[in-house]
Each structure stands twice: as structure tokens, then as C-alpha cells.
Amino acid sequence: MVRVSVSARGELSAAAAGLNLLGSLAAGMAAISLVFVFYGVDPLEAFGSIFAGSFGSLYGIKETVTKAIPLVLIAAGLALAFRAKFWNIGAESQLLMGAIFSTWVGLNWGPHLPSYVIIPLMFAAAMLGGALWGIIPAVLKYKFAINEVISTLMLNYICAELTTLLVVGPWKGKTKFGFPYTDDLPPQAVLGLLPGSSIHYVTLAVAVTLAVVLGLLVFKTRFGYELRVIGENPNAARYAGIDFLRTTMVVMAISGAAAGLAGAGEIAGVHHHLSYPDAISSGYGYTAIIVAWLAKLNPFYVVVAGFFFAGILVGGDAIQISLGLPAATVNVFNGILLLFLIMGDYFARNRVRLTWIASDKG
């Protein structure tokens, strides 16, 4: 008979935490290799194709940076929510809500305002939309005891259907010949791009700045201390008189606003109109969960982690073409890495012992 006992570890050193992260990634890559073998693909060839597709050419690097922008924005906000032990799985809908709000502002006010006015207004509207959508599950949890995993996940489906309703119904563009898109944004509501790329540099600058600001908020302010206490020791937080509802609502407002900014960037920088949900977001809200965990819930690190996972997304598109793998391969890739990152984090925090006990047969 085997008895399993679990006890908390002490705080890991920076070196040990780094080794834990590398070990988790290595174990995840080994598991992913088995998936490639199952499909009859040489794992080394597959990983080489992913790297070459995302980082092996100037075009690949440009595409990687473009996809990193929404991942960094969303993951920086998720890092705050997860640190407070609020499991926000709804960043996908918060992104879409930001896209909806920014599209409305761009279409209705854009023709009458210069770019230096309308662009900030679109970003502000996107933040408002994402924040309002993010606050809903916080209220549901602390007023009605509704689990946030369920509520945030369900809100994803609600917002996706709302987006579809708008583009096939009242917001369908008169210039789109019946296609399910809104009209295009006016030129002054469109973000500029780096020459020869799809990189909307304004949103890129906003993403990097936000990651730094949220990192300072978490580690250098009283509010950041409160959210860390709530996440690490809820009983101590209650004893200290920390207001759970207020803190969580602020955290979710920030997390939702960050995802909303990503929605505005996709609308104003990439698509220039609102369309079907899966066209606006390539699952960024879900992939950013993995980015946040890879960054160890540290907003300072999400820039590097976001760039890494953006490379996986771009490289994943490449292996579909070069190796003939199904499109779902990237999702499997991401899911396996998330699983091993969570496992690594668990074993970093807890010591698991197996004890053999002789059975008493009387």
C-alpha cells in the first residue's frame, strides 16, 4: 500500500525557480514530441520547422511580433487576476467586448475627429468595455457565490454570440455586399504600421508600457501587496481587513481593460472592421493564460513569454503547410505546455512523498 503525503515547501531561490521552469518546459517538449511521433513526424524536424517559421526569417519575426501584441496585453492583465487567485478564463470575451466598443467609437465618431483624438478615444472605449465585462464575474462570485471559472467561461460564449449578432444584423456594413462585416473604419481611425509589416507600433508600445506599469503595481504599491496577500493567504487577508470584493473588482477591471486594449489593437491595427469572433481573435484570450503561467504571473516577464508563444502560433501555421499536420496541433501543443507548467508550479510549492506501508493481513 502506498501513502501519499503533501507538505508545503519553503520559498524557492531564483535559481531553483528558473531550473523548475526549464524542467517544466523540457518535460512539456518531450510530451509534445510523442504527439509528433504519433503523427509519423520527426520531432526534431517539427521543432526546427516551428523555429524557422517564426524566428528564421524577417517575415516570420514580423508576424511573431504582430501576434505577440495581444498576448502581452492580455497576459499582463491575467497575471494580476491569477495572483489574486481569481481564475479569469474570460479574456477572450473581454477582448471581443473591447473590439465592439472601439468599433462603435471608430465608426460613429471617427469621420468627424482627427486621428490624434479618435485613436485614444477608441482605446479608452475598449478599456471601458473590457473592464465592465470583467467586473461581472467578480460581482457574481462575491455577491452570489458563483464560481468564476464557470461565469468567465460562459461569458465568452455570450460575447461571441453578441459579436456575431451585430455583424450579421444591425451593424452589417452597407459597403460589404452582404458579407458579415461592419463597414471599414475611416482612415483616421486606423493605426499606422511599421513599414513592410503588420506591426501596429502604437499598440506594441502600449503593450510593453502596460506590462511594466502592472509589474510596478504588483510589486511596488500597497494595492499590489493586498492582491498578493489575497492570493497567497486569504485568511491573513481577512484578518488584515482587506476588502476582497473591492480588490477583486479593481483587479478584474484592470484585467478586462487590458484584454479590451488587445481588441482595439486588432480592430484598428489589423482588421479595420468588426467581423466573426474567430476572425478577430485567434484564441488569444486562451493562449494568454499559458503566457501568464510561463511568466510566473509576473507582468515584467510577459513580454518575453508573449513573444515566445507568438512564435509557436506562427510556427504552428508553418508546420501545417510544410508537414501537413492538422490545425489543432497548435492547440494540443499549447495545452500540453500549460499542463506541465502548472504541474511544475505545483511541485515547486509542494513536496510530495510516497511511503510504502506493509498491509496488515491479520
Q: State the pLDDT at residue 358.
A: 66
Q: State the pLDDT at residue 49.
A: 86
**Can you tell me the distance from the alpha carbon of 329 to that of 71, in angstroms, rounded to the nearest whole number?**
19
**Can you tell me the distance from the alpha carbon of 206 to that of 292, in angstroms, rounded to the nearest whole number?**
18
Looking at the domain 63-327, which fold is it? ABC transporter involved in vitamin B12 uptake, BtuC (1.10.3470)
**Can you tell me the distance from the alpha carbon of 55 to that of 291, in angstroms, rounded to the nearest whole number?**
18
* DSSP H or E run through 7: strand 2-8
**Can you tell me the distance from the alpha carbon of 259 to that of 250, in angstroms, rounded to the nearest whole number?**
14
Instruction: Answer yes or no: are the C-beta atoms of 24 and 295 closer than 8 Å.
Output: no
Q: State the pLDDT at residue 183.
A: 95
Residue 40, Ramachandran bin (φ over 0: left; ψ between -120 and 50: alpha; else beta): left
* DSSP H or E run through 330: helix 329-349
Q: How many CA within 13 A on the CB side of residue 193?
A: 17
Q: State the pLDDT at residue 360.
A: 56
**Can you tell me the distance from the alpha carbon of 279 to that of 103, in angstroms, rounded to the nearest whole number?**
15
Q: What does each of the 362 residues of the chain score in pLDDT, given as a tens digit?
A: 777 777 777 677 778 778 888 898 899 999 999 988 988 888 888 888 888 888 888 999 999 999 999 999 999 999 999 999 999 999 999 999 999 999 999 999 999 999 999 999 999 999 999 999 999 999 999 889 999 999 999 999 999 999 999 999 999 998 888 789 999 999 999 999 999 999 999 999 999 999 999 999 999 999 999 999 998 888 888 888 888 889 999 999 999 999 999 999 999 999 999 999 999 998 899 999 999 999 999 999 999 999 999 998 888 877 877 777 777 788 888 888 888 888 888 888 788 787 777 655 54
Q: State the pLDDT at residue 330.
A: 80
Instruction: Answer yes or no: are the C-beta atoms of 115 and 189 closer than 8 Å.
Output: yes
Following CA atoms 245, 248, 254, 256 in sequence, which dihedral angle do they give, to the nearest 10 degrees?
Answer: -100
